[in-house]
Amino acid sequence: MQNKGFTLIEVTVVVAILSIVIGTLLTLGLGIGRATRTQGSKITAHDDVRMGLAFAASEIRQASRFSIAANNAFPTNSLNYTVAIDKDGNGTAVDDQGDLELSGLRTLGPDLGDANGDGLTATQLVYLDPTNPLDEFRVRVITNGLVPNEDTNGNGTLDAGEDQNNNGRLEQGVVFTRIGRGILITIDAQNTPGANEIPIVSTISELVAPRN
């Protein structure tokens, strides 16, 4: 009995089918990988914003209303304030004369002066307490991946050439806005899924009222 092999047409059809299957699997794999990176970037950016917002809100709740009004012009990207502290060790933030005891001036804002010396500036939101006697507590990074302020002319709108991350939205990194007796904190952080991909931006706002 003579063995019959595959004809050229049959081989061509099989190769074509295999090529389609392999191409489909490759495309599917790349899509899954891209989706995984995007989701990871969303989680990272959201966590960065959430941690920074929690710290900033806690600080502002303890802040002196007078210090906020006297040391800031709103809206602002850096907030200067003092908080109530127990200076004399009597267990409260009120001295023997009944006056409120306050810390030295603190700041929440982008690390434009590279206060911690790590080489990162506009992309970090930091807490500064220059009068703290302990060096390790004078500077603290509270948000990484901060979006650099895109509002270069300060007019509050996204103008030509200002959209640094190409997502069509105006982000200022961090902005503090006075609303009644409260301070609205808005933080924008970003994380890039991969090379040549648009950064994923997470934005969260919270209205906080100083208690002192």
Which residues, at least 6 apart from 100, have a Cβ–Cβ distance to it below 8 Å? Answer: 64, 84, 93, 94, 212
Look at residue 161 in the predicted model and tell me its pLDDT. 82
Look at residue 124 in the predicted model and tell me its pLDDT. 94
Give pLDDT tens digits for 178-201: 999 999 999 999 988 877 788 888
Q: What is the pTM of this model?
A: 0.79
Instruction: List the pLDDT tens digit at each of the 212 positions of the chain.
Output: 555 666 878 788 888 888 888 888 788 777 777 777 778 888 889 999 999 999 999 999 999 999 999 999 999 999 999 998 888 788 887 888 888 888 899 999 999 999 999 999 999 999 999 888 777 789 999 999 998 888 888 888 888 888 877 788 888 899 999 999 999 999 999 988 877 788 888 999 999 999 87
Look at residue 57 in the predicted model and tell me its pLDDT. 96
Asked whether 76 and 110 are in contact (CB, 8 A), the reply is no
Look at residue 199 in the predicted model and tell me its pLDDT. 84
Look at residue 29 in the predicted model and tell me its pLDDT. 73
Task: Write the burial class of residue 52 (CB in 10 Å: 0-12 exposed, 13-18 middle, 19+ buried).
Answer: buried
Task: Write the burial class of residue 126 (CB in 10 Å: 0-12 exposed, 13-18 middle, 19+ buried).
Answer: buried
Asked whether 191 and 166 are in contact (CB, 8 A), the reply is no
Look at residue 144 in the predicted model and tell me its pLDDT. 92
Look at residue 79 in the predicted model and tell me its pLDDT. 96
Look at residue 2 in the predicted model and tell me its pLDDT. 56
Look at residue 71 in the predicted model and tell me its pLDDT. 92
